């Protein structure tokens, strides 16, 4: 009986290895093969460069039209390339042929995308991460992908980016000081001269003027993209205007932090003229004027580079404010801020995926199934990445 059982187990393992070659390579102790979808884009290239020197990982940049079989970045690091188009009819087959152990999806915008990349990664027996900031994409991901990910024994994570990957780690950390959480407010303030990427702009424009739900005073209210302009003060920077944006945190945080009554998110661009233009475009769309501004993303990005970047800086920041009752009974707010100099702000959305990829390579994540990126990383996990890019952090307390 023992002999039969062992043979049966070996047959099952061999069949599984044949179906999922990437998982077989991991079991054999080889370097994990990481396929970065959109690996030559604004964020994908940063992730490729960062992971290229990490022991235990072999990085491959996937692009629709790579120039050659190897791509050399401006810092001298080189990665192999593979031609992959997520919209092609044979995408899943081609991804399986590429034998990934991990797929990192960076080909946005994610607003309106389906889960074909995550499904293809599971079909290949590979772990999956993405840097999605699309609210519905990230919030609905666990329910849509959990069964398939568990069936093949992989970890699939959506939103391994600034939101909710980093933002939730900040709130988890600050929340330890409170006996009651009342409000969570996040603002991201990019430097005008920092690289934006057309997909990011398309995502931002996609919900301008459109209504979305925000948890306010303990009930759901409708807010509109790139409206609700407020003034924000960030340490080391001049005051900025910030406008309302639709992000995964707005859907996820009311459930993750029971009792919280307010959750809000704003993006604070450096130049007010951009806020005025976006506010007007959003207001027209809100009134029913069919402005396809997301289709203008590439041209507007080029115009901004040529005409406006000279009036801005390369300094960016992210601020998370948590308010409530501290454990000593005082009502207060804790303000956490990171400040990124030298145009390094775009490194921040890449950090959660970079950290999770390294944890997977070291077998430090044993979970299987599909998750939004919350609770998988602690704030201290990000410290080494902050230091790498000379990004400073600061936490202050203020009364309410």
Judged against a pLDDT cut of 90, whether residue 221 lies above it is answered with yes
pLDDT of res. 296:
67
Q: Quick one: 225 and 88 in the same domain?
A: no
Query: CA separation (Å) from 116 to 46, 86, 122, 141, 142?
Result: 23, 8, 10, 12, 14
Q: Quick one: 367 and 394 in the same domain?
A: no
CA–CA separation, 129 and 382 (whole Å): 17
Contacts of 51 (CB under 8 A, 6+ apart): 34, 36, 57, 59, 354, 357, 358
Supply the DSSP symbol for 225. B
Q: Quick one: 131 and 190 in the same domain?
A: no
Q: Quick one: 364 and 328 in the same domain?
A: no
Judged against a pLDDT cut of 70, whether residue 248 lies above it is answered with yes
Query: CA separation (Å) from 111 to 11, 140, 306?
Result: 42, 12, 27
Confidence of residue 297 (pLDDT cuts 50, 70, 90): low
Strands of 32-37's sheet in order across = 70-72, 78-83, 57-63, 32-37, 102-105, 127-130, 155-158, 369-372
User: What residue has token string 């690996």?
Assistant: 39
Q: Quick one: 15 and 97 in the same domain?
A: yes
Q: Quick one: 169 and 109 in the same domain?
A: no
Arithmetic mean of pLDDT, 355-376: 97
> Token pair of 294, please?
């997301």
The domain that contains 332 carries what CATH number?
A: 3.30.360.10
Q: Quick one: 138 and 249 in the same domain?
A: no
Where is pLDDT greater, at 16 or 360?
Answer: 360
**In DSSP terms, which residues pair with 57 in a beta bridge?**
32
Q: Quick one: 153 and 263 in the same domain?
A: no
| pTM given for the model | 0.89
Q: Quick one: 338 and 394 in the same domain?
A: yes
pLDDT of res. 393:
96
Domain, as residue range, for 24 = 2-162+349-381
Q: In this predicted structure, which of 19-33, 77-91, 208-222, 366-380 has the lowest mean pLDDT? A: 19-33
pLDDT of res. 16:
40
Number of separate domains in the chain: 2
Confidence of residue 399 (pLDDT cuts 50, 70, 90): confident
Furthest C-alpha separation in the chain: 77
The domain that contains 130 carries what CATH number?
A: 3.40.50.720
Judged against a pLDDT cut of 60, whether residue 11 lies above it is answered with no
Give the ranges where the chain is alpha helix by DSSP (H): 2-19, 21-27, 42-51, 91-97, 116-123, 135-139, 141-152, 167-175, 198-206, 248-256, 272-286, 297-307, 351-361, 383-388
Q: Quick one: 110 and 212 in the same domain?
A: no
Query: CA separation (Å) from 229 to 29, 218, 278, 297, 317?
Result: 52, 22, 11, 22, 18
What does pLDDT average to over the chain?
89
Q: In this predicted structure, which of 38-47, 119-128, 293-302 has the lowest mean pLDDT? A: 293-302
Judged against a pLDDT cut of 60, whether residue 4 lies above it is answered with no
Q: Quick one: 178 and 80 in the same domain?
A: no
Q: Quick one: 153 and 252 in the same domain?
A: no
């Amino acid at each position: 009986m023992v002999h039969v059982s062992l043979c049966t187990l070996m047959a099952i393992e061999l069949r599984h290895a044949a179906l999922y070659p990437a998982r077989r390579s991991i079991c054999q102790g080889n370097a994990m093969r990481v396929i970065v979808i959109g690996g030559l884009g604004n964020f994908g290239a940063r992730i490729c460069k960062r992971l290229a020197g990490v022991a235990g990982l072999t990085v491959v940049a996937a692009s629709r039209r790579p120039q050659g079989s190897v791509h050399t970045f401006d810092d001298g690091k080189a990665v192999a390339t593979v031609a992959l188009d997520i919209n092609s009819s044979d995408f899943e087959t081609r991804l399986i042929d590429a034998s990934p152990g991990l797929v990192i999806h960076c080909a946005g915008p994610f607003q309106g995308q389906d889960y074909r990349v995550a499904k293809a990664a599971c079909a290949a027996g590979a772990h999956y991460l993405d840097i999605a900031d699309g609210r519905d994409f990230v919030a609905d991901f666990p329910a849509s992908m959990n069964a398939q990910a568990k069936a093949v024994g992989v970890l699939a994570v959506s939103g391994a980016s600034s939101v909710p990957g980093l933002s939730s780690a900040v709130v988890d950390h600050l929340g330890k000081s409170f006996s009651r959480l009342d409000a969570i407010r996040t603002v991201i303030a990019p430097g005008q001269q920092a690289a934006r990427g057309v997909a990011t702009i398309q995502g931002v424009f996609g919900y301008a003027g459109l209504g979305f739900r925000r948890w306010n005073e303990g009930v759901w209210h409708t807010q509109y993209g790139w409206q609700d302009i407020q003034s924000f003060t960030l340490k080391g920077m001049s005051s900025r205007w910030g406008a309302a944006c639709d992000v995964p945190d707005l859907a996820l945080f009311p459930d993750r932090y029971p009792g919280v009554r307010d959750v809000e998110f704003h993006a604070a661009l450096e130049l007010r003229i951009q806020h005025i233009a976006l506010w007007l475009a959003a207001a027209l769309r809100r009134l029913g004027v069919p402005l396809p501004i997301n289709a203008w993303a590439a041209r507007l990005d080029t115009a901004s580079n040529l005409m406006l970047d000279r009036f801005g800086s390369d300094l960016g920041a992210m601020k998370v404010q948590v308010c409530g009752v501290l454990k000593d009974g005082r009502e207060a707010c804790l303000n956490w801020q990171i400040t990124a100099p030298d145009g390094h702000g775009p490194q921040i959305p890449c950090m959660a995926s970079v950290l999770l990829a390294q944890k997977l390579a070291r077998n430090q994540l044993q979970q299987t199934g599909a998750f939004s990126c919350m609770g998988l990383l602690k704030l201290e996990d990000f410290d080494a990445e902050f230091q790498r890019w000379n990004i400073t952090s600061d936490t202050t307390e203020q009364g309410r």
